[in-house]
Amino acid sequence: MPLLDVRNLRVEFPTRRGTLVAVDDVSFSIEPGEVLGVVGESGAGKSITGAAIIRLIEPPGRIAGGEIWLDGRRIDTLPPERMRSVRGREIGAIFQDPLTTLNPLYTIGRQLAETMQTHLGLGAKEARARAIRWLEEVGIPAAAERIDAYPHQFSGGMRQRVVIALALCAEPKLVIADEPTTALDVSIQAQVIALLKRLCRDHGTAVMLITHDMGVIAETADRVAVMYAGRIAEIGPVREVVKHPRHPYTEGLMGSIPPLSHRVRRLAQIEGAMPRLTDIPPGCAFNPRCPRAFDRCRRDRPELMATDGPNRAACWLHDPSSRDEALGHAA
Amino acid sequence: MPPDASRTVATEALVEVEDLARDFDVSRPWLFRVLNGEPRRIVHAVAGVSFAIPRGTTLSLVGESGCGKTTVARLVVGLYRPTRGRIRFDGSDITALGADDAARSIRRRINMIFQDPYASLNPRWRVRDIIAEPLRAFRVLEDERAIAERVAELLRHVGLSPKDGEKYPHEFSGGQRQRISIARALSATPDFLVCDEPTSALDVSVQAQILNLMKDLQEEMGLTYLFISHNLAVVRHMSDRIGVMYLGRIVELAPTDALFEAPRHPYTRMLLDAIPDLEMTGRRRIPVGGEVPSPIAPPPGCAFHPRCPFADARCRAEVPRLRAEGEALVACHAVEEGRLAA
């Protein structure tokens, strides 16, 4: 049984000019202990998907359809006060900016201890002792002395370590990490990713890792979902998606990343930009930018389907019944 | 200026920078200092940087936040006055340009592209006026019809439509705005562009479009670039030579392929090792320890010594100078003494 099962999730934002669908019929699952990367460009819906799972969508946005199951229990219908105990206890969260997670008025020791007292029912003394152990585990030097420091007394990298301790200290089964290293310098990013990987492996925590950085995903994730215009374009084992993408968008995305190991004269280029949510084209949302689009792509919306590899892709090129049409177009 | 650095100054260098330095006073207010007995606090943002950029090539400066790369960019275009050092452009000293006609004709040939296309375009101006501003400021063209024609041509050149000139910046996406910035930077036909993280606010597919455009324009117009970035992959793609900066100094300056294939300075090695790379799927990396120290009180000797696995007593006491090592210039005692395996 998967740890997290998201089925046909739909998130809407009502506006004066009509309803925007930010996440449209998205389904995926995460196994216990697995790291699922969610990658996409700004506006693809990756962060909103993560926020929907922990029900932290800013109103007027709302979950308009679908189901979210955690460990065999449906959580999207839980009343808000029950959901509050799911957040933190069962699902931890790490956001891009550690200052939005940490309360500037409380010492980090108090924030860690309170989290454990609330969720694990520990006494104050035991919670403080464990808080020190957590700070040691995330690599804060002189943890016993620094536990009574305030967030502003830490550097950016150290703060993100504290946030990781805070997300993991209630021993959740799942952590949702939204761009956890985007605000950090590259050498600090490497430290934080290594830390997150090690801790989640040691504690058997599953991770939904949301980022725009394909390199971070390639190093960290077991599987990856590529999102485009509110939908999953492709999902599969990370190596397959990186090395043998089956969706033309994924292919273009990989080609547009400058390689580190060698020089290319020109980067592959996807023409245009992702459509705004107000004018998503009919059929496949990627069709106006797709070099291989044919008639059916402009007409019917593809669902995720099997390909010739382990990846599934939402692309008519992989549908046996439209293959002749696709080849005809290419010829 | 270290003697070894001068050797690489090619005769055809368009831009030459010698021992450039800039301090910033970040002291607290006077009364506060007096009451608390605090000294002045000076940040040595750039502490003596030398390089030369041959005409038609790209030099990139790369490093982590606080290393001084953006300050160098701003010094070179004249947005800051240097505390020390000289900047030469096409043979003339532009360290302290005045406001006379000669200065104006040199300034016309230097322009800049900024990181944030949401902050660098005036939201109240139409795009055509934004792009025409350098034309008017430097009196390149006076006739309004000629200006309109030039703006239309520039818009087409950067992949936009001449009709876009009537619109305001908010009507464009980030990538399109950066195209507008490029059109503005190019409008007075400069030879030299300083590009400060021009794509770091953009999505990766849009970044590819902008990088391709910048390379095409360089080839077509023979532009010289000083390119500032924290992204080593972008820098590898764009540059002929790369300078790696750490706490206000260049620690290694080398041709691009040499830097990536045989990095010499321990900091360069650490940086290259730290980048998550698509090729490395499944590879285990050695995480690096420590953080960049405060530039207010940099460590004595080599500023990198607290994080460096090869540091010894000399590294803790003496600032290393840039010395030639093969094709590269490296500031490292361990490299000089051969303590570091190549």
* pLDDT-flagged residues of chain A (< 70): 326-331
Task: Look at residue B44 and tell me if it is in a domain.
Answer: yes
Q: Does A266 contact B212 at a Cβ distance shorter than 8 Å?
A: yes
| Total number of domains constituting chain B | 1
C-alpha to C-alpha distance for B116 and B86, rounded to whole angstroms: 28
Q: Does B233 contact A267 at a Cβ distance shorter than 8 Å?
A: no
Task: Look at residue B149 and tell me if it is in a domain.
Answer: no
Those of residues 28-87 in A touching chain B at CB distance below 8 A are 41-42
Which chain B residues have a beta carbon less than 8 Å from that of A187? 64, 270-271, 274, 288, 291-292
The answer to whether the bond into A60 is cis (omega within 30° of 0) is yes
What mean pLDDT do residues B10-16 have? 79
The pLDDT confidence band at residue B303, using thresholds 50, 70 and 90, is: very high
Among B207, B211, B236, beta carbon nearest to A260: B236
| pLDDT digits 0-9 by tens, B316-335 | 999 999 999 989 999 999 99
**Confidence at residue B223, expressed as pLDDT on a 0 to 100 scale:** 96
Left (φ > 0), alpha (ψ -120 to 50) or beta: where does B7 sit?
A: alpha
User: Looking up tokens 């590899």, which residue turns up?
Assistant: A309
User: Looking up tokens 């997670």, which residue turns up?
Assistant: A101
Q: What is the mean pLDDT of chain B?
A: 89
Task: Look at residue B273 and tell me if it is in a domain.
Answer: yes
Among A187, A194, A215, beta carbon nearest to B271: A187
R_g over Cα of chain A: 21
Q: Does A253 contact B257 at a Cβ distance shorter than 8 Å?
A: no
Q: Is residue B167 pLDDT above 70, yes or no?
A: yes
Task: Look at residue B9 and tell me if it is in a domain.
Answer: yes
User: Pairing relation of β-strands A62-70 and A312-313?
Assistant: unpaired
Q: Does A41 contact B292 at a Cβ distance shorter than 8 Å?
A: no
C-alpha to C-alpha distance for A258 and A282, rounded to whole angstroms: 32
| pLDDT digits 0-9 by tens, B117-127 | 889 999 999 99
> In this structure, are residues A22 and A3 in contact, taking their beta carbons and an 8 Å threshold?
no
What mean pLDDT do residues B214-219 have? 95
**DSSP-assigned beta bridge partners for residue B324:** B329
Task: Look at residue B237 and tell me if it is in a domain.
Answer: yes
Torsion, Cα B164 B166 B167 B169, to 10 degrees, reads 90
Q: Is residue B19 pLDDT above 90, yes or no?
A: yes
Among A187, A214, A263, beta carbon nearest to B64: A187
User: Looking up tokens 């009919």, which residue turns up?
Assistant: A282
Pick among A39, A138, A185 to test the B interface (most B CBs inside 10 A): A185
Report yes or no on whether pTM surpasses 0.90. Answer: no
Task: Look at residue B66 and tell me if it is in a domain.
Answer: yes
* φ/ψ (deg, to 5) at A145: -85, -30
Closest Cα in chain A, distance from residue B277 (Å): 5
Domain that holds residue B326: 3-109+190-278+287-336
C-alpha to C-alpha distance for A177 and A155, rounded to whole angstroms: 20
**Confidence at residue B10, expressed as pLDDT on a 0 to 100 scale:** 45
What's the CATH code of the domain at B68? 3.40.50.300
Q: Secondary structure of A230-253 in the HEC alphabet?
A: CEEEEEEEHHHHHHCCCCHHHHHH
Task: Look at residue B306 and tell me if it is in a domain.
Answer: yes
User: Looking up tokens 């030469």, which residue turns up?
Assistant: B88
R_g over Cα of chain B: 21
**Confidence at residue B284, expressed as pLDDT on a 0 to 100 scale:** 55
C-alpha to C-alpha distance for A152 and B198, rounded to whole angstroms: 30
**Confidence at residue B129, expressed as pLDDT on a 0 to 100 scale:** 95
Closest Cα in chain A, distance from residue B203 (Å): 6
**Which chain B residue's Cα is nearest to A157?**
B291
- Helix residue ranges, H only, B86-173: 101-107, 127-137, 144-157
Task: Look at residue B219 and tell me if it is in a domain.
Answer: yes
C-alpha to C-alpha distance for A168 and A94, rounded to whole angstroms: 9
| B286 interfaces chain A, CB cutoff of 8 Å | no
For the stretch A124-127, contacts whose Cβ atoms lie closer than 8 Å and that sit 24 or more positions apart, written own/partner, are none
Q: Is residue B286 pLDDT above 80, yes or no?
A: no
The pLDDT confidence band at residue B9, using thresholds 50, 70 and 90, is: very low
Identity of the amino acid at B233: A
DSSP state of B339: -
